[in-house]
Structure 1
Amino acid sequence: MIGLGNKKIGRPTDNPKDISLKVRLDNDTAKKLNECAKEINVSKAEIVRRGIHKFHDGLNKK
C-alpha cells in the first residue's frame, strides 16, 4: 500500500455522504425501518434519506 497516502478508496460519487447522524429508535420504529430496507433491498440510511426527502417535499406543498 505504498504510495496511496490519504487517497480515499471506493466508488467515485457526485454526492458524497460525509455527514454522520446518530438516532435513537424504539423497538417498533427500528423494526419498521429494517422491514422497509429489506423489502426494497436498500440500506437503512437510504430509507432515512428517502423519508427526509419525502417529508420535505410535503412541506413545500403547503
Structure 2
Amino acid sequence: MPRTGRPTDDPKTLNTRIRFSEGDVQKLDYCCKVLGLTKAEVIRQGIEEMYQKAQKQK
C-alpha cells in the first residue's frame, strides 16, 4: 500500500500519552479554537517555548 499524505523532513513517528485535567483540556481546546491550530500543534509550540526558556537558564 502506498504512503499517503505530504512528504515531510520531520516525520512524526513517535507517540506519547498524556493525562490532563478537565481544566487543561478546556484551555487546550480554547487555544485550538482561537489560534486555529490542532491540539498537536499547540502542544508542540508549548514544548518549543519551554525548551527555549530552559536553554536561556543554562
Considering the TM-score relative to the shorter chain, is it more than 0.5? Answer: yes
Deviations 1:10-52 (A, max 9, x none): 1111111111111110000000000001111110011110000
Q: Could you state the TM-score of these two structures normalised by the residue count of structure 2? A: 0.90
| Structure 1 stretches lacking a partner, 5+ long | none
The answer to whether the aligner puts 1:26 opposite 2:39 as a matched pair is: no
Give me the CA root mean square deviation. Answer: 0.9
Amino acid of the structure 1 residue aligned with 2:24: T
| Structure 2 stretches lacking a partner, 5+ long | none
SS at match of 2:32: helix
Between the aligned residues of both structures, percent identity stands at 33
Of the candidates 6, 10, 16, which is equivalent to residue 5 of structure 2? 10
